[in-house]
Amino acid sequence: MTKIRVTKEFNFEIAHALWNYDGPCANIHGHSYRMFVTVIGDPINDENNPKNGMVVDFGDLKKIVNQEIIDPLDHSIILNKKAFDSLNSTDNQMFKKQYIVDYQPTCENMLIDFTRKLLKKIPAGLKLHNIKLYETATSFAEWYASDNDQ
């Protein structure tokens, strides 16, 4: 068969702050993230299959990414647990949607977290090829399976 890469773009908003950072990103601020998820596989070759000719239905890939990443994180604030504990304001209405993590919420670490989640959900017969996460229009981090013995 012929391997084909299929990519879906996602857009979402997240606020974060970098705990104990020595620059302006120590303050709570937000980004409009763009993420490209690419899987690789063989197109289905079965005329009786309604997804004949597809590597993956874009809707199925969208459902996985939305469930694992977008729905819990879009318009949330993501903070390192140490930063969250320092706020002592869990009843503050501005912090109703929180995603507390044990890591520094940099673009790189968020990408690692997202990758781990998606690797568990990618359907059999597909392989997660790469993920590109833009934090700003000109700054992004990338994960490639080939770089990580996947």
Annotated catalytic residues are 25, 75, 135
CA distance 112 to 48: 38
CA distance 49 to 65: 23
- Torsion sign over Cα 100, 66, 15, 37: positive
Q: Supply the DSSP string of 25-75, one letter for each residue.
A: GGS-EEEEEEEEEEEEEPPP--TTSTTTT-SS-HHHHHHHHIIIIIHHHTT
118: its two tokens:
């998606």
